Amino acid sequence: MGGSFARTSETLGAGRSLPRWPHHGVSRLGVDRLLRRHAGIRRAGPRVTDRLFFAVVPDAGTAEKIAQRAAVWRARHGLTGRLLKAAHFHVNLAPVHEGNGLPDADEIEGWMARVREIPMPSFRVAFDRLTSFANGALVLTGEEATIGLEVLQQRLSDALDDTPRPARRYTPHVTLLHDGRHIEAEPVEPIAWTVREIVLVHSPVGQTTHRHLMRLPLA
């Protein structure tokens, strides 16, 4: 304990050492914890308040169907996590911003100009498997019937990246809820819709709301 305290004292500030503390009052352990806490505050960057990402969003009827079936799956598996709102169901394609506030209009228009050039027709997608991810997300996934989303995600990533890279690992999915209990993957009756557009979604951190800023129809 003394050695740890001495090392912390030596590295405090720019060459400043911590004065010797009396045996009564604040303990060395307490001081060490306090120093680590303040070091973490100094390292922390600006608070993240806003996220933007491109996504595929189901139509309202399909979203409501997902919500109804998700409630049944939640009850059947004894999960307690809160279901996402039907209006929040989406397939994330590419995050483009995470920071304090929104980027300026010119930057957003730059993204949109690139996305408009993506050669991709409308296509049918279907999710036929229910499973849990390692982070506790209960999700809908698929295999052959989600290939169109994989192609769209790769083309979108290439359009947004100045240096296109090889195909990235990507699993199209719709998150339903988060729960500490995981379930084994199981087949479910397919939930399908036709993807006709890409949506730029604004997700304020800590708020249960999604704003659809822009919609770009597929060619």
Phi, psi (deg, nearest 5) at residue 69: -75, -35
**Can you tell me which residue has the tokens 């997902």?**
66
Query: Looking at residue 45, what is its pLDDT?
Result: 60
pLDDT exceeds 50 at position 200: yes
The per-residue pLDDT for 33 is: 52
Interstrand relation of 50-56 and 186-195 (parallel, antiparallel or unpaired): unpaired
What letter does residue 103 receive in the DSSP assignment? P
Name the DSSP letter for residue 94: E
Asked if 202 and 214 touch (Cβ cutoff 8 Å), the reply is no
Q: Which residue has the higher pLDDT, 164 or 203?
A: 203
Predicted confidence band of residue 20 (pLDDT cuts 50, 70, 90): very low
CA dist 11 and 17 (Å) reads 7
Place of tokens 């989600």: 146
pLDDT above 90 for 190 = yes
56 Cα distance to chain centroid: 14
Overall average pLDDT of the 35-47 stretch: 56
Mean pLDDT, to the nearest integer, of 116-144? 96
Radius of gyration from C-alpha coordinates of the chain: 24
Percentage of residues in the chain having pLDDT higher than 90:
69
pLDDT given at position 209: 84
Residue 27 above 90 pLDDT? no
In whole angstroms, give the CA distance from residue 58 to residue 90: 7
Say whether pLDDT at 167 is over 70.
Answer: no
CA dihedral 83, 85, 87, 88 (to 10 degrees): -60
pLDDT for position 26: 45
Mean pLDDT in residue range 68-82? 97
SS3 label, residue 133: coil
Distance CA 127, CA 18 (A): 60
